């Protein structure tokens, strides 16, 4: 197993055996450990002392279902704290197959307008991976939909690609890291936290993996691994939301639009209401029905990455049946829809595709546009105006650069007070005033406002893993803490977070996840260790953030949410500071 260091100062690389101290780490556990150990907390995120770390999860690259996930980590240009942003792609599985447990990009190439690419191949003679550099300057300033086919043409069809778009070249706080999807499109993202700009700041444009000949992931105990894998498959195939032709496979993640709207927790027009009158027109059901009408047949969703049996990724089609965009996720649909007062799926899909092409995070983009709509730059509901604003970001105009700085940055530029962000990161698609537990996660997560960091929506809205009243703050600090720790484990395991919907309800699935990890690593973990292993990751991240100046004073929800009641339930965010502080004090 290998740890690869790439030094962009002098364009050299070293392939090192994985240090013993890292042998039980993967995914988020690996990236956060390396960032915390090696990156000075006070460094400039776009300077030479930041490091960009990629790590596949523990079971990534194995036959474990729904596990082709990669963590990207660094100090975030958006939050100023530690960042782990998770993506699903063949790129993750290919990195794991090459037995690379961590890829660390260090230093910074001289700023001379040139961009480099890395090409990782398996060196059969040496029995280890090898790094080659290539000149990627021709792709600078280009749409990713234009660049990706050229990369495939250069290196062949069997590769996987990660990279940054124009947004990352400009150094935006809103710039994701892109990965290929199964149809070779640049549509899968480690979207959040500006990691695309960390990549761009190093003069690095693409990382191409040619896995041919690579040995695959070694498994210490095959029988135990298989036992765990079967339990996981059973759980995913039987749970109502993850099974084939279940809710996720049929309607995609945007099936959530209607239920959040019904619960009064769908942030609308820059978090001024919890209900959007156009919700049903933009929901997952409307995507399914619209596709059926335009294609003349039912279309079920596809996998974002190899080995996924949930298959929740949709494709929206134009009236003539041609492809408009893939994938219109719930968060993107909401950010560029309800949050901007826009109810046209065609326009939302156009914006999703633009974000994917420019290398922008759809959540940050929609949250930012919502703020400047309220500032009067364009009116709410003006989808053509919103499309134009995304083009401004792509062109790098002065307005585009303000918007590219993200929700909090744009809010400051326009003197706004209703700015939905925590630690500088724009809020996702759940209203903290209507769903208190997720507000606690937004406030306290080491990542800034991040729903995936502790998805209390499961019991608060969906009735998964029990049912809890979303409007009460009682008991929610503990709920968020438990979800944050369990999530850190899942992000380390290499499974997609969506396996949680099944394994939180089906105990044997949870056992299966731990047995898969034990099978790969030779560890003796039990389900009781999930919280402990996850908490270790959180403590590491928390210590980095405190040293970076993000202490508990930054674990707060924006003031307007404490004072402005949110329709329809007319609730404020009534969680005490003591409760917020207890999330990590009692971890």
Partner 1 sequence: MRLRVKLFAYLTRYRDNLSSGTPCEVDLPEGATLADLLRALQVPDEEVKMAFVNGLAQPEDWQLKDGDEVGIFPPIAGG
314 binds partner 1 (CB under 8 A): no
Interface pick for partner 1 out of 497, 537, 548, 566 (rule CB under 8 A): 497
Closer residue to partner 1 (CB): 176 or 404 = 176
Q: Give the shortest CB-34-to-partner 1 separation in angstroms.
A: 27
Interatomic CA distance for residues 500 and 62, integer angstroms: 19
Residues binding partner 1: number (CB under 8 A): 47
Phi/psi region, residue 14 (left: phi>0; alpha: psi -120 to 50; beta: rest), is beta
User: Measured in whole angstroms, how far is the alpha carbon of residue 247 from the centre of its chain?
Assistant: 21
Pick the binder of partner 1 from 54, 483, 501, 560 (CB under 8 A). Answer: 501
Is residue 582 exposed (0-12), middle (13-18) or buried (19+ Cβ within 10 Å)?
middle
Site for partner 1 in 427-466 (CB under 8 A): 451-452, 455, 457-458, 461-464
Cβ closer to partner 1: 454 or 482?
A: 454
Q: Which two tokens stand for residue 396?
A: 């790098």
Strand pairing class (2-7; 100-106): parallel
Residue with Cβ nearer partner 1 (405 or 426): 426
Give the nearer residue to partner 1 in terms of CB position, either 142 or 569.
Answer: 569
The nearer residue to partner 1, 211 or 269, going by C-beta atoms, is: 269
For position 32 contacting partner 1 by CB under 8 A, the verdict is no
Please identify, among the stretches 26-34, 65-73, 279-287, 393-401, the one whose residues bind partner 1 according to the rule CB under 8 A. 279-287
Compare residues 130 and 569 and give the one whose CB is closer to partner 1.
569
> Does 59 sit near partner 1 (CB under 8 A)?
no
Q: Among 259, 478, 543, 572, which residue sits at the site for partner 1 (rule: CB under 8 A)?
A: 259
Touching partner 1, residues 137-166 (CB under 8 A): none
Residue of 6, 72, 102, 247 that binds partner 1 (CB under 8 A): 247
Rule CB under 8 A: is residue 102 a binding residue for partner 1? no
Span near partner 1 by CB under 8 A; candidates 114-122, 190-198, 275-283, 419-427? 275-283
2 three-class SS: strand
Structure tokens at 34: 């390396």
Give Cβ neighbours of residue 293 (< 8 Å, ≥ 6 apart). none
The answer to whether 26 contacts partner 1 (rule: CB under 8 A) is no
Residue selected from 61, 284, 454, 534 as contacting partner 1 according to rule CB under 8 A: 284
| CA pair distance 150, 20, nearest whole angstrom | 39
- By CB under 8 A, tell whether 255 contacts partner 1: yes
Report which secondary-structure segment, H or E, holds 94. Answer: helix 90-97
Coil, helix or strand at residue 66: coil
In 214-329, the DSSP E strands lie at 316-317, 323-325
Q: Report the distance separating Cα 218 and Cα 482, nearest Å.
A: 31
Site for partner 1 in 567-586 (CB under 8 A): 568-569
Residue 285 binds partner 1, judged by CB under 8 A: yes
Supply the minimum distance, in Å, between the C-beta of residue 145 and partner 1: 26
Angle among Cα 323, 325, 326 to the nearest 5 degrees reads 105
**Nearest to partner 1 of 74, 310 (CB atom):** 310
Q: Looking at the chain, how many residues does it have?
A: 587
From the list 121-129, 169-177, 278-286, 363-371, the region that binds partner 1 by CB under 8 A is 278-286
Coil, strand, or helix at residue 99? coil
Closest separation in Å from C-beta 196 to partner 1? 21
Q: Which stretch binds partner 1 (CB under 8 A): 70-78, 116-124, 235-243, 375-383?
A: 235-243
For residue 286, state whether it binds partner 1 (rule: CB under 8 A). Answer: yes
Give, as ranges, the residues between 320 and 379 that touch partner 1 (CB under 8 A): 330-331
In whole angstroms, give the CA distance from residue 419 to residue 556. 13
Q: What are the strands, taking DSSP E only, across 36-179?
A: 52-56, 69-75, 82-88, 100-106, 116-123, 128-135, 159-164, 177-179
Residue 253 touching partner 1 (CB under 8 A): yes
Helix 436-444 vs helix 476-493: crossing angle, to nearest 10 = 60
Q: What's the half-sphere exposure (Cβ side, CA atoms, 13 Å) at 497?
A: 21
Q: Which range binds partner 1 by CB under 8 A, 55-63, 198-206, 497-505, 547-555?
A: 497-505
273 near partner 1, judged by CB under 8 A: no
What's the burial of 526, exposed, middle or buried (CB within 10 Å: 0-12/13-18/19+)?
exposed
- Regarding 409 and contact with partner 1 (CB under 8 A), the answer is no
CA nearest neighbour of 495 among 307, 339, 262: 307
Interface region with partner 1, contact rule CB under 8 A, candidates 35-43, 208-216, 259-267, 295-303: 259-267
> What number of helices (H) and strands (E) belong to the chain?
24, 16
Site residues, partner 1 (CB under 8 A): 239-242, 246-248, 250-256, 258-259, 262-264, 279-280, 283-286, 289, 312, 330-331, 451-452, 455, 457-458, 461-464, 467, 469-471, 497-498, 501, 568-569
């Amino acid at each position: 197993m290998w740890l690869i260091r790439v030094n962009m100062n002098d364009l050299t690389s070293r392939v090192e055996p994985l240090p013993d101290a890292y042998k039980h780490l993967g995914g988020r556990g690996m990236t956060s450990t390396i960032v915390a150990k090696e990156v000075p907390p006070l460094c400039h995120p776009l300077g030479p002392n930041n490091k960009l770390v990629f790590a596949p999860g523990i079971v990534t690259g194995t036959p474990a279902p729904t596990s082709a996930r990669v963590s990207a980590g660094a100090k975030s240009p958006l939050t100023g704290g530690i960042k782990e942003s998770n993506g699903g792609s063949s790129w993750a599985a290919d990195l794991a197959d090459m037995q690379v447990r961590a890829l660390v990009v260090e230093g910074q190439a001289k700023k001379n307008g040139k961009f480099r690419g890395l090409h990782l191949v398996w060196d059969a003679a040496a029995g280890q991976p090898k790094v080659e550099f290539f000149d990627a300057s021709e792709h600078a300033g280009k749409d990713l939909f234009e660049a990706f086919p050229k990369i495939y043409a250069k290196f062949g069809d069997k590769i996987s690609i990660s990279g940054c778009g124009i947004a990352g070249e400009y150094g935006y706080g809103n710039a994701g890291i892109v990965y290929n999807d199964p149809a070779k499109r640049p549509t899968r993202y480690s979207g959040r936290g500006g990691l695309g700009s960390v990549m761009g700041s190093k003069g690095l444009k693409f990382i191409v993996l040619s896995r041919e000949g690579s040995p695959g992931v070694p498994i210490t105990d095959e029988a135990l691994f298989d036992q765990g894998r079967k339990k996981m498959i059973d759980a995913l195939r039987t749970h109502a939301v993850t099974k084939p032709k279940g809710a996720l496979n049929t309607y995609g993640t945007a099936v959530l639009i209607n239920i959040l709207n019904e619960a009064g927790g769908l942030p609308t027009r820059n978090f001024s209401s919890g209900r959007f009158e156009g919700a049903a027109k933009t929901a997952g059901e409307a995507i399914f029905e619209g596709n059926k009408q335009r294609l003349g047949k039912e279309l079920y969703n596809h996998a974002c990455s190899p080995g996924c049996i949930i298959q929740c990724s949709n494709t929206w089609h134009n009236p003539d049946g041609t492809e408009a965009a893939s994938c219109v996720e719930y968060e993107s649909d909401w950010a560029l829809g309800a949050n901007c007062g826009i109810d046209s799926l065609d326009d939302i899909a156009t914006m999703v595709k633009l974000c994917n092409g420019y290398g922008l995070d759809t959540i940050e983009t929609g949250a930012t546009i919502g703020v400047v709509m309220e500032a009067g730059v364009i009116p709410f509901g003006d989808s053509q105006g919103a499309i134009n604003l995304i083009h401004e970001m792509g062109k790098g105009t002065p307005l585009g650069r303000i918007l590219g700085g993200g929700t909090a940055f744009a809010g400051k530029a326009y003197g706004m007070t209703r700015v939905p962000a925590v630690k500088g990161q724009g809020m996702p698609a759940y209203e903290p005033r209507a769903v208190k537990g997720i507000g606690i996660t937004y406030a306290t997560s080491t990542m800034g406002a991040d729903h995936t960091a502790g998805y209390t929506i499961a019991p608060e809205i969906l009735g998964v893993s029990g049912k809890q009243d979303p409007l009460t703050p009682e008991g929610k600090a503990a709920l968020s803490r438990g979800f944050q720790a369990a999530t850190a484990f899942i992000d380390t395991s290499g499974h997609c977070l969506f396996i949680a919907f099944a394994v939180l309800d089906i105990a044997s699935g949870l056992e299966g996840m731990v047995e898969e990890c034990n099978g790969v690593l030779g560890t003796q973990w039990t389900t009781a260790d999930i919280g402990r292993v996850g908490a270790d990751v959180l403590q590491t991240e928390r210590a980095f953030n405190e040293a970076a100046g993000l202490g508990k004073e930054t674990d707060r929800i924006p003031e307007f949410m404490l004072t402005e009641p949110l329709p329809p339930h007319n609730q404020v965010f009534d969680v005490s500071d003591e409760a917020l502080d207890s999330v990590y004090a009692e971890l």
